[in-house]
Structure 1
């Protein structure tokens, strides 16, 4: 995570996400889509400054954020502080939450750690709970390359660990999960995962 300076980015983050660049296109729409699906006790991994709180209507909310700068900004905005943790080490007991959400953060998890991150989300999930991941994704590695070349963003794409729908379907199959995907725009998808019944 040291690759990205989140502590300093915290100062300008809320302004940066308002720019309609390729990553943050339809940003508020994406937050609303995730918030509508989140129920019960919700844990938000990589919660940043807590922008999704403007849309959530849940029983209880727990933010998890590894950056002290982001946690401080969150505290200033919302009056409480997220927990210090990350995708591979959630500071929560087994089977304790109804919905795990993450928006625009999963692309910071290296590809070889994505399955471990999903396992950790499953660990804290109650039976019948669900995981909602909203982020820049691509249908396949081939599409990732093609869009990068067509849109002149190959360098930006290669600087992150953007998931593919194909890859997440494979992980879901290995973990016995049902998954469904909604494409929001050219770059952003929302995935919902839950244990197969």
Structure 2
């Protein structure tokens, strides 16, 4: 359920905001258009929002700025501490993950950025099945995450990272559970969602599923 990466999250917590601001050359492309990506996810949200993988609270702040109610889910104590300091008293942030989280009444939109790849494909399928039961008709999943058009494109990304000397990035790509758009599209459609995907940069796509 992604919790096998908790030690990594604890290490990332203090440097995450610096990385997303483009100060880490290896991850510069991963986080290109970061602010625009967060704004797009926030703009496509409505009603009561559950955010999975709150991290340091950057997306949470944008959703709150739109006047929406946010229930945050974050497994990392270090990340939660930073997010809560940024947003004192403005949002509830609970210990949890994509599959195990406190009961939330009447959610309308489920959002996440840069986190769904911490689940295996089997766990992603389980999560989307859960969301299909949780959301009403018209409810939405809006996730921005690294994914690929094909297995070949994924392999090419790893090879390119190695060629560029981006060894940490290559290790991340090989260690975590990145998947392909056709697999995610099938998961969404099997659970009653209309699926669409739009590219944000060379790594990140916006995945939207609307329940019908």
**TM-score normalised to the size of structure 2?**
0.84
Residue deviations 1:91-124, cap 9 Å, x none?
1246x11110000010111122111111233333
Tell me what 2:38 maps to: 31
Is this contact kept in 2: 1:177–1:194, CA < 8 A? yes
2:18 is the alignment partner of 1:15? yes
2:54 aligned to 47, 53, 74, which one? 47
Taking the aligned partners of 1:149 and 1:184, their CA distance within structure 2 comes to 21
Tell me what 1:67 maps to: 76
Is this contact kept in 1: 2:149–2:181, CA < 8 A? yes
2:205 aligned to 169, 189, 196, which one? 189
Taking the aligned partners of 1:142 and 1:119, their CA distance within structure 2 comes to 27
Is this contact kept in 2: 1:134–1:191, CA < 8 A? yes
Of 17-26 and 57-66, more deviation after overlay is shown by 17-26
Q: Which has the higher contact order (CA 8 A, sep 6+)?
A: 2
1:167 aligned to 166, 169, 183, which one? 183
Tell me what 2:131 maps to: 121
Is this contact kept in 2: 1:49–1:73, CA < 8 A? yes
Point out the structure with the larger strand share. Answer: 1
Residue deviations 1:66-109, cap 9 Å, x none?
11111111111101340111101121246x11110000010111
Taking the aligned partners of 1:122 and 1:92, their CA distance within structure 2 comes to 15
Give SS of 2:198's match.
strand
Runs (4+) of structure 1 exceeding 4 A deviation are none
Taking the aligned partners of 2:211 and 2:16, their CA distance within structure 1 comes to 34
Is this contact kept in 2: 1:42–1:58, CA < 8 A? no
Tell me what 1:87 maps to: 98
Tell me what 1:107 maps to: 117
Tell me what 1:142 maps to: 152
Extract unaligned runs of 5+ from structure 1: none
Taking the aligned partners of 1:130 and 1:139, their CA distance within structure 2 comes to 22
**TM-score normalised to the size of structure 1?**
0.90
Is this contact kept in 1: 2:51–2:60, CA < 8 A? no
